Amino acid sequence: MGHLVPTITAALTVALAGCSQTASAPIKTVALPSDGGEVGKAFVAYVDALKRNDIDAAGKALAKPDVLKRSSSKDILDNIGNAGPTGGRQQGDRATLFLVRGPADDVRIVLYNASRVAGVWKFDTPLLSGTKFHPSPLDCRSGDKFPCGVETAPDAVVYGTVPAMDGQGQQALIDGFAAHTLKGGTSSGTLVVLAGRGIEPELLHVSADPHEVEGWLRWPVLHIDIAPDNKHAHVALFSGASVEEFEVSDGLAIESTDKGRIRGHLGVTAKKGGAIQASFDIADTSTCNVDTDRCDKGF
């Protein structure tokens, strides 16, 4: 399993970790090796520290070490179980480690986020939250119905930021996917979904529709329903604490829709959601039928 409607204004630049990021500076998300690389090593060291009941050492592997004061090492280890790395995605100092946990008849896939701070990988939370994996054959030989035809990072190029859940600062977007939408047998636009977590390919390919994928991606998730004219879109942002939805025209720029890909940029400021700055270059050869499938947001 190694590959297991408020008023808005255009916003040009947002700050992330003290650095300026614009639409003209593409950032690639890369695949981590099957053991998770340096992020995987950090996870193993975190688990080893918990097994020794070395709270200080375990705390160094967390973005907010004080949370360990509210849970015992045993409780956290019970939650982690036999979880082990199977790969992941990394974009600069942000990464998602893919973990597999559980017995053969109840396999869970975990997307475990971490940030690199002063050269040290620190995980967002002490506990794991996984999605049940249901193995099933995916036959895409005779069609492009979602998830057939979907490509995520590293083929998908996604970068930018959205407001953080606590309203303080920004969260990075590192992965995503796209699909043409159909209604009444004709094209109704393009769905672009951008996420703050790496997307685990095997879990994606056993998901029935975009709605289900957005559910297990948790947050942040940016759902962009682009109209057929590529000049308007309905946007929904789930930051973890709330959902904000709005219509956008100014601030949306679709630069290319040829060769089976969609490339563009969304730069807006919504009254409630703060600055959204997102760029994408993603394959859009998959289709989602609005009449029969859940192409709507999954949060």
In this prediction the pTM is: 0.88
Per-residue tokens: 294: 């859940």
Distance of CA 145 to the CA centre of its chain: 21
Distance of CA 85 to the CA centre of its chain: 18
Per-residue tokens: 110: 């975990």
Question: Which CATH number applies to 31-132: 3.30.479.30, 3.40.50.300, 3.20.20.210, 3.10.450.50?
Answer: 3.10.450.50
Number of C-beta neighbours around residue 29 at 10 A: 26
In this predicted structure, what is the pLDDT of residue 239?
85
Residues 6+ apart with CB under 8 A from 265: 23, 252, 253, 255, 278, 279, 280
What CA–CA distance (Å, rounded) separates 159 from 19? 14
**Which of residues 158 and 270 earns the better pLDDT score?**
158
Confidence check: pLDDT of 38 > 80: yes
Distance of CA 243 to the CA centre of its chain: 16
3-state class percentages of the chain: helix first, strand second, coil last, to nearest 5: 15, 40, 45
pLDDT tens figures, 134-179: 877 678 887 899 999 999 999 999 999 998 876 678 899 999 999 9
Confidence check: pLDDT of 14 > 50: no
What CA–CA distance (Å, rounded) separates 229 from 232? 7
Break the chain into its structural domains and give their ranges: 8-27+144-289, 31-132
The SS3 assignment for 85 reads strand
Distances (CA, A) of 295 to 220, 251, 290: 18, 23, 6
What CA–CA distance (Å, rounded) separates 219 from 238? 6
What CA–CA distance (Å, rounded) separates 19 from 176? 23
Running DSSP on this structure, what letter comes out for residue 169?
Answer: S
In this predicted structure, what is the pLDDT of residue 39?
98
